[in-house]
Structure 1
Amino acid sequence: MQPSRIWSEIDLQNEGKVTGYLRVPISTHASAYGWIPVPIASIKNGSGPRILLIAGSHGDEWEGQLLLIKLIQSLQVQDIQGHLIILPGANAPAVEAGQRVSPFDDGNLNRSFPGDPNGTPTMMIAHFIETVLLPGCDLVCDFHSGGSSLEYLPSTVIVAPKSGSQLRKSVDLIRLFGLPVGFATDASTGGDRSLTGACDRLGSIPCLSTELGGGGTASRNLLRAAEVGLARVLHHLGVLNTAPKERHSCSTQLLYRVRPNDFVYSPAKGLFEPFATLGDNVTDGQAAGRVHFTEEPWRKPVTVHFGVGGVVLCRRFLARANLGDCLFNVGRKWAPD
C-alpha cells in the first residue's frame, strides 16, 4: 500500500507524553506550500494495550472533542500502562469551521475510509488513520454526538460482531461505560467507508463509539458521565492505573437499530412539529409528527409515522426540515445474552 503523505511531528514509538500535529499537505491560492494542522497526542509507558481515541470526525460534534482535550491535559505518563493515541479533532478543517464536513473538500471523515494518500485532505487523513494509527490497536473509541442537526439519547454504540465471544466483550464494554443506553447496529451508517469498516479490514479491531447528545452544545453532566465511563473502560483494560472514584450506578438499556424502518424521514420541505421526544416508547405506525408549509400556511400539513415501534433514540434538533432529512430513529429492545 502506498505510504501516507502526511508527516507527523511526533514519533509514536517514543516513550513518554508527546504532543504535536499531523501535517496534511495542502496547496491553495493563499498558501502554495502549506499544511493543515491536525492535533495529536501520544502517551506511552512500557508494554500494554494500544488504544486509539478519536473525536471530531464530524467537526460540529463538540462533546467528544472536549472529553479528549481534557484527557490530554490531565493524563501523565505515570498514570497509564501501555499506549494511548489521541486525536481530539480528527477532521481538523471541519472542527475549525464548526461544521460536519471539511470546508476544503466537503469531506465527511467517517465516510472516507480507506482514504487515499494522494486524495483530498479528508481522504489523506482517513488513509493515515487506517494505515498508520489503527494497525496494532487493541481498541478504538470513536466519540460522536448528534452534531448541529440531531440530538441523541446518551448512548454507547457498537456494530454487532458476528463472533459470539466478540459480541459478549463488546456488550461488557457498553455496560462498563455506563451511559443510559447502549445500542447495536447491523452495520455502521457509513458502511465499509466508516472507521468501523476500517477496523474490520484490519482484523476486527474492537470499536466502541458514542452518541453524546448533540444540538450543537455540550452538557456538563453528560460530559462528566463520558469522562467516568471512558476511565472505567481504560482501567478495565489495564491502561489506566487508577479507577475513577465515582461508582457505577447506571443500568444501561440495550437496544438494536437497523435501517431503514427504524428511521423516519421528512416527506417534504417545511417546519416539523414532533409528536414524540427522546426516550419515548412508540408503536408500529404511530404518528411521529407533522410537516407544516411556511410558504402555503393554508395547506394541510403532512403527517409522518414511525415504521416500527421501539424507543426513540434520536430526533432532529432543528425545526426546519427538507425532503429526506432524518426526523427520528428508533431502537428496539435487545437481549444479546
Structure 2
Amino acid sequence: MDDAEPFTYDGGRVDPGESQNLRYTVSETYLGDSVRMPVTIVNGERAGPTVVLTAAVHGDELNGIEVVREVAHEWDLSDLRGTLVCLPVLNVPGFIAQQRYLPIYDRDLNRAFPGEAGGTSAKRMARRIFSNFVEPCDLCVDFHTSTRGRSNMPHVRADMDDEAVSRLAHAFASNVIIDTEGASGTLRREASDAGVPTITVEMGEAHRFERALIDRALSGVASVFAEYGLLSAEVVHWPGWQTIVDGAEDKTWLRADTGGLVDMRVSRGAFVEEGAVICVIANPFKTETTKVRAPFDGLLVGVLENPVVYPGNPLCHLVNVGARTRRAIERNRGW
C-alpha cells in the first residue's frame, strides 16, 4: 500500500495521523473583517481516498450541517484510511443571516463554482473553497435540503452516465436517485467535471434539524466509507429498495391553478395512485375548493409545507416509479 500523504491547502498542511480544526478565510465583510469558513481535516495514518463532505452552500439548509459535524467530531476516525475534509458551512454569510443566498447582491453561491479569483464576490469565495478543499479530493458528498416552505424525502441527485459518480450514488444507498447532470455552476456539476465524482443529497426542509433524516444520512455516509475502504469495519448499507428516475424527463412539479390555503392530504415519500387527491386548495371561507389529483401513479419526492399559494406555486414533486418499486414502498413505509 502507498504511504499516506499530507493534505495541503493555501496556508496550511495536515500530515498523516494528524487532524486540524480551522477557520479558513474565504472573503471579507464591508468593514474589512475576515469571513472565515469552519473546516475540519482528518488525515489517516494509512493511505486511502480523500473525501470531502460539504453542507450549507445555501445558508438556510441546516440538516447537512449536523451530518458533517457528527462525522467529523463524534465518529471514531482513529482507523481512517485516507483523508476526510469536512466543510459544514460553505455559505457563511448566508448562514449568519439565515437566508439561502449570499447577502451580497443576493447571489447563489451554488451557481458560482468552480469560481474565479478575479470574479464577483460569489465567484471569489467559490474559488477559495473549490481550489483548496474540493479539487484536491477524490470524492465529494454535498448535503442540501429543500428551499423554505417545502420538504424533500431523502434522495440523491447524480449524473448516472458518469461511472464514477454512479458508483458513489449507489454507495450512499438512497431509496431514490434522480439522474441529472446538474446545472452549470453547481458544486456537484463542476466538481464532477473537474474529476472529483460528486453527488447531491437532498433531505428535509430548511431552517431546522430533522433527527430521523440526519441519522439516515449518517448511515449513507457510513456506507460510502465502507464502499471506498475508509473505515474497514463498516459494511455497505442496502436501503431495501432503490429506483433511478430520469431527471431529464421528470418535470412533474404539480402547481396550483388557484390561490388559497392548502390542505395537504399526503406526506413526502408517499406513493399515490392516479386520480388520488394530493391536496385541496380553498379560499378563506371554504366556499370554493379545488382538489389536486395525481396525474399518474407516482412517488412524492417533495411536498409543500407552507400552506399558502398563489396560482403557479409548486405543490409537490411527483415522480414515476415502476410496479416493483411500488410494492417495495408499500412494504417499507416511511419518510
Q: CA deviation at 1:57?
A: 1.2
* TM-superposition CA deviations, 1:35-67 (whole Å, max 9, x none): 211111111124320111101112222211011
- 1: CA distance between counterparts of 2:80 and 2:11? 19
* TM-superposition CA deviations, 1:101-140 (whole Å, max 9, x none): 2223322222222333334443323223333323242211
Change (3 A) 1:39 1:9: farther
TM-score (norm 1): 0.80
Q: CA deviation at 1:174?
A: 3.6
- 1: CA distance between counterparts of 2:319 and 2:13? 39
Partner of 2:200: 209
Q: Gaps (5+ residues) in structure 1?
A: 1-7
Moved more, 224-233 or 122-131: 122-131
- 2: CA distance between counterparts of 1:161 and 1:73? 31
1:200 is matched by which residue type in structure 2? S
Change (3 A) 1:238 1:75: same
- Report whether the alignment pairs 1:256 with 2:245: yes
Partner of 1:172: 170
- 2: CA distance between counterparts of 1:206 and 1:283? 36
Query: Is the contact between residue 21 and residue 39 of structure 1 (CA under 8 Å) also seen in structure 2?
Result: yes
Identity rate of aligned residues, in percent? Answer: 21
Query: Is the contact between residue 196 and residue 207 of structure 1 (CA under 8 Å) also seen in structure 2?
Result: yes
Partner of 1:224: 215
- 2: CA distance between counterparts of 1:82 and 1:171? 20
Partner of 2:331: none
- Report whether the alignment pairs 1:300 with 2:292: no
- Report whether the alignment pairs 1:327 with 2:315: yes
* TM-superposition CA deviations, 1:172-193 (whole Å, max 9, x none): 3143xxx4x22222333xx112
Partner of 1:277: 267
- 1: CA distance between counterparts of 2:178 and 2:189? 15
- Report whether the alignment pairs 1:318 with 2:317: no
- 2: CA distance between counterparts of 1:38 and 1:277? 35
Query: Is the contact between residue 168 and residue 224 of structure 2 (CA under 8 Å) also seen in structure 1?
Result: no
Q: How large is the Cα RMSD of the aligned pairs?
A: 3.0
- 2: CA distance between counterparts of 1:38 and 1:255? 34
Change (3 A) 1:215 1:319: farther
2:186 is matched by which residue type in structure 1? S
Change (3 A) 1:270 1:102: farther
Q: CA deviation at 1:76?
A: 6.3
- 2: CA distance between counterparts of 1:10 and 1:285? 59
- 1: CA distance between counterparts of 2:72 and 2:231? 13
Q: Which runs of structure 2 are paired with 1:16-95 in the superposition (5 Å)?
A: 16-28=18-30, 31=31, 33-45=32-44, 46-75=46-75, 78-95=78-95
- Partner SS, residue 161 of structure 1: coil
Partner of 2:12: 11
* TM-superposition CA deviations, 1:189-246 (whole Å, max 9, x none): xx1121121123213x3223222222533232332232232122113212224327xx
Number of aligned positions between the proteins: 313
Query: Is the contact between residue 261 and residue 308 of structure 1 (CA under 8 Å) also seen in structure 2?
Result: no
